[in-house]
Structure 1
């Protein structure tokens, strides 16, 4: 438990009162419940009229859950649409606390970027852009920056050090931008942030947590800090990042959909969650002290995948904050917050595998004591984001079994007189069409509302490239989404099954750039959905052409998932669409200043300090290059060199790095005396006394790095 002085309950009046918050939540969830119950009873009545079958009972349970999720999502868009119509002044906005505020910030804040096997030049480029953007506001003195490395690749480790040093030299930012690499990366990203909080967190009121692909506008960051200073009850301030820099068809589809439909869902989410929001792991400002006191995550009972360390730590950290009386708000009106997305469907599903395991671990927590309703709802929605797929799969299987049984049993069905027929005189066909129409309306209503809003507002319409690119983009995104949905269903179902069977996921670095998925990789990755679609199609045709036609959107999506995955991964096709402004977004057509700063960032690159030169890359440069060696050694703590460690260093010199294990090389890189010893040896010893890899590196200094001019 935290100390008394850290409790927010008496620190300030709530920004939005508990009665009004409760009323909003009641209206929202009661509306969702009523619509779902009506639809479920309508289907039950339809089944009763057709004559109840054993499959109907399971289908009703699945429908109640799946339709509830559909109604929940659609009502986020509906409530968000009306919230937008009400106007900005009548909406609940935590950021209004920063309006009219001037003068320097009273507290200090940290900008922290955890990295894991990332491109160090691009990572430092994003730090440079944020640094310059905050500097332009005149409030740079209130911020420090931390690159928190968990990188395991030894060459990338050295590249990170040189990029950071160049960045600090070019910006004059030594003592303001810091770099730290953990020797052991326990508990992944949550452990990385936790290590920062324990080591440096006491010097800061709040920390802005970024991902390696995050960008944020400096003015917005300063305003977020002002809100945290003005409102003592605020624990976490989450922003809704926009996707940028999409080059493949897949990423362009994602960023177009998020940019067009996203504002509706964000406003609808804010309508009911208010101060009981969630934390998405990045692009959020966190108050350090309560985070330190309440958000130390325990290990779950048992082993992975359901036990062990919590992977989706962000939801849990927000839950702990809210349960202790701190408020977590969504700053929906922050415009300058950005991130990038996985470039292909395969990369997206690889990332989803980690999220799936992490979200399913929340089954341990959703019924825990002291958790408010909003927290339980966030955990529930996160869990059902993945459990919904196997439920949908099971629902479709039950429907197929029902159709097969009725087609091949040759028994006549005795219809029962149902309630709907008695009340409205609607036959079974009309009743089925009405339910189908209602479901499809809920499914496509968010797209329709967002499209109408964009078309009717000239500034929004122009920001997406005009009416024709917007219309074409909407149709194209809808068709591809229909094709992708069955593949996602099958893939998520496999993920859930593998987790249930006890297969835990590893911690791999995220692929942010690629030139497309190969046909062989797509065939290997999507073999199950494709085979499933072929077999299911045969069964559907044997049942009857009417049933096959009814199932065709699902079956076509499964069968075509390999070519769809390949073609949506292609950058050249994405660029072709971009030329005609199809799937374009406002940030693509009119790049924000911080994005332009990141595109132009070059401070991390300097030929005088470069660990990426041919024949002396990474680890080799840390031994051979005088400048790289001195930078690396400066960042190490001094230690005495044992005889065993001297022997390992000597073996590295004579037999080359490949003769050592990765752990031995890592240990050497942490030993300042060993690095100095090897550096002197490669320059002083005759070539016959050291491995050729070192002599080639030394020889490379005698050759021109730039091509001579005529």
Structure 2
């Protein structure tokens, strides 16, 4: 009699029992609700005491939402701190399964890096570093590497092919490192990964998904694979990447904050989500088979921005995995996982525009059937990461309205008896101060806990540059983040309004390096918040100095957003801070080996096989240079050259590549006989039949380097 194979989702003992998981979630979220409820009732009592105003109900509703988010964040930090204090052995740690696993992996795994209009030398350097790092573990035979290009820039396409070829030659990686460029980049990154899964995924147990700026230590990658083999219920294993290589003040502030405060939030998040976690799109190991079966993303009803293809696909893929009974875990103790960040506030907000639209699309899914509670909470937190800003803005607007009404009415609020006064004998002004103190405690509690923890532990204190640099860095990060917050609030508010009014976002490549934001660009980008800040300040002064003082952090942040944006974008100031160890991180004071490998990596660059020489770059090199042309055509499918292709090739030779549209030039680059014909023509054809750009390219071979 045939027996059906046991579904791995239901085989063996769960890593963490359902009953204990429910208890943890009950304790965590009941605490959040009770603390938030107490604060809301306290504010309602304060409003009752000062007399009813039409805006009070709206203020109370918005406060309940915003303060709930604030309490949620503080509880993550608080429970994270408690988890750290109780010790590593008592923490829930999925990666401990690797400690008893066999030394050698049994299954095969793919390291997958999607790229889109990126610097090929840099992402190939990261692949080289990861390749060499895994090689030192003795497990390289179990891993293959895939560069999955969706690059639309034709010159960058050629550079990618050349860099990949050099990389494989130097590492002896042919048959281990693969390159593919999609003709049609449908559905962005999700479609790119989906194409890999459909085409090659069947040969692998799991795939490590990276971004173009990702870097991961080889031993940690092997550990993740061991966990996947040891625990058949595991669908996705996410790691918390650290930010590295920040040069500008903005990126140094980001990586310092994430490195100092991040562990608290990560441990607190792991406390309640356990096997119902989320996927952040990169630096994660995914089991291929269930991902292929359950994570195909349908288009949402309607048109973009709320309909169409899902932009924030990672949260949804994790939601589908968990809803089908697979577990998604956060490996909080995986240390060797890194990424880079946008270098300026402007670049950060441009990236946020895409994330904002993707997260707001989750409104379609948050109330869907079959989704577990943890999934709904993750989707809700992702949505509120952007909706919180317009709610905060409305709270400030309504607060200003109330203050203005009391100012123009010139009336003294009626002294109603309040619960706080009757029960505790608290005067009106003290009741308000207690609420303000409570909110500020919630706001700064994570920073205080993290800073105190780092200062009290000698190893951490030294890793962050020492006592004084750590203290100065913490103070600077707090002040600058307070100045940046109002600008980001307004930017997110405008993003949400833009999406609601039907303006969808495009798909651009992420800026990772820049020499700073120009004053003209900052003025254009931040003019609206600056003008709003000036107008709001004038109105606040009309109301009174007490209200102006209360609003001063918001008003200063809006008025100063242009100079703050420019100053934080400058690399020279970031380097000056680095020389003093201010905003230093452990990865700066003691660089990990994988980072050193990436810095030293140069296998993708070669003097002979090069598509960046003067007069023969990119597409020009693919036609003229014998080596580059050979590499390019070796990656094409064999095809015949039709009349249209021949006509395009002749026009390109006579009038130059600039005479062709991008789609026509792309068609030529995909046609093997056309590329061969053009190569022969520029070397053997009559010069009077060629455009000067080809003649210059051929003549450049007679020049010495530097001429």
How far did residue 545 of structure 1 move?
1.1
Change (3 A) 1:379 1:7: farther
- The separation in 2 between residues aligned to 1:641 and 1:350, in whole angstroms, is 42
1:43 offset after TM fit, Å?
0.2
Q: Which runs of 5 or more residues in structure 1 are unaligned?
A: none
Partner of 2:502: 502
Output aligned runs, 1:166-177, within 5 Å. 166-177=166-177
Tell me how far 1:420 sits from its aligned partner.
1.1
State the distance in 2 between where 1:388 and 1:98 align. 39
Partner of 2:276: 276
1:384-423 aligned within 5 A? 384-423=384-423
Q: Does structure 2 retain, via aligned residues, the 8 Å contact 1:109–1:144?
A: yes
Checking the alignment, whether the CA contact within 8 Å between 2:116 and 2:152 is kept in structure 1 is: yes
- Determine the structure 2 residue equivalent to 1:468: 468
Partner of 1:617: 617
Residue 604 (structure 2) pairs with residue 593 (structure 1): no
2:536 aligned with 1:536, yes or no? yes
Contact 2:101 2:230 in 1 (8 A): no
* Alpha-carbon spacing, 1:502–1:7, altered in 2? closer, same or farther (3 Å): farther
Please tell me whether residue 52 in structure 1 is matched to residue 18 in structure 2: no
Q: What is the rounded CA distance, in whole Å, between the counterparts of 2:12 and 2:688 in structure 1?
A: 74
In the other structure, the counterpart of 1:367 is 367
Runs of 4+ aligned structure 1 residues displaced above 3 Å come to 4-9
Asked if the contact 1:6–1:290 (Cα under 8 Å) also holds between the matched residues in 2, the reply is no
Contact 1:8 1:325 in 2 (8 A): no
CA distance in structure 2 between the partners assigned to 1:601 and 1:412 by the alignment: 71
CA–CA distance in structure 2, aligned partners of residues 554 and 533 of structure 1? 8
Residue of structure 1 in register with 2:697 after alignment: 697
Secondary structure of the structure 2 residue equivalent to 1:178: strand
C-alpha distance in structure 2 between counterparts of 1:7 and 1:192, whole Å: 28
Determine the C-alpha separation between the residues in 1 that align with 2:32 and 2:7: 34
Post-superposition Cα deviations, 1:399-434, rounded to whole Å, max 9, x if no partner, equal: 000000010012342222111111001011110011
Q: Where does residue 643 of structure 2 map in the other structure?
A: 643
Deviation at 1:528, TM superposition (A): 1.0
- C-alpha displacement of 1:5: 5.5
Whether the aligned pair in 1 keeps the contact of 2:341 and 2:512 (CA below 8 Å) is: yes
Q: Shift in Å at residue 265 of structure 1?
A: 0.3
Deviation (angstroms), 1:6: 8.2
Conserved in 2, the CA contact under 8 Å of 1:7 and 1:325? no
User: Residue 169 and residue 455 in structure 1: after superposition, are their counterparts in 2 closer, same or farther (change >3 A)?
Assistant: same
In structure 2, runs of 5+ residues without a counterpart are none
RMSD, aligned α-carbons? 0.8
Are 2:9 and 2:232, in contact at CA under 8 Å, matched by a contact in 1? no
Kindly report which structure 2 residues correspond to 1:295-694, keeping only aligned pairs within 5 A, or say none. 295-694=295-694
The CA distance in 1 between the partners of 2:421 and 2:107, in whole Å, is 68
Per the alignment, residue 146 of structure 1 pairs with 146
Query: Which residue does 1:231 correspond to in 2?
Result: 231
Please give the alpha-carbon distance, in whole angstroms, between the structure 2 residues aligned to 1:533 and 1:174. Answer: 58
The separation in 2 between residues aligned to 1:470 and 1:22, in whole angstroms, is 38
Distance 2:275 2:8 in 1: 13
Write out per-residue CA displacement over residues 643-673 of structure 1, whole angstroms, 9 at most, x where no aligned residue: 1110111000011101100000000000000
Structure 1 residue 35 corresponds to structure 2 residue 29: no
* Partner of residue 67, structure 1: 67
- Matched residue pairs, number? 704
Other structure's SS at 2:10 match: coil
State the SS of the aligned residue for 1:184.
coil
Q: Classify the secondary structure of the residue corresponding to 1:117.
A: coil
Instruction: State TM-score, norm by structure 2.
Output: 0.99
> Is the Cα–Cα contact under 8 Å of residues 237 and 331 in structure 1 kept in the other structure?
yes
Q: Bigger CA drift: 97-106 or 624-633? A: 97-106
**Distance in 2, Cα, partners of 1:233 & 1:5:** 14
Q: Cα offset for 1:297?
A: 0.2
- TM-score for the superposition, normalised by structure 1: 0.99
Q: Is the 8 A contact 1:249 1:571 kept in 2?
A: yes
Which secondary structure does the structure 2 equivalent of 1:376 belong to?
helix
Counterpart CA distance in 1 for 2:377 and 2:315 is: 11
Q: CA distance change for structure 1 residues 53 and 6 in 2, over 3 Å: closer, same or farther? A: farther
- Map of 1:289 onto structure 2: 289
For residues 505-525 of structure 1, what are the alpha-carbon distances to aligned partners after superposition, in whole Å with 9 as ceiling and x for unaligned? 000010000000000000001
Cα 1:357–1:6 change in 2 (3 A) is farther
Note the C-alpha offset of 1:11: 2.1
3-state DSSP of counterpart to 1:426 = coil
Q: Which whole-Å CA distance do the structure 1 matches of 2:55 and 2:641 have between them?
A: 72
- Offset at residue 52 of structure 1 (A): 1.2
For residue 265 of structure 2, what is the aligned residue in structure 1? 265
Q: Deviations over 1:484-521 (max 9, x none)?
A: 01001000000000000000000001000000000000
Partner of 2:88: helix, strand, or coil?
A: coil
Deviations 1:524-583 (A, max 9, x none): 011111111011111101111111111000000000000000000000000000000000
Q: 1:557 to 1:10 in 2, by over 3 A?
A: same
Secondary structure, in 3 states, of the residue corresponding to 2:223? helix
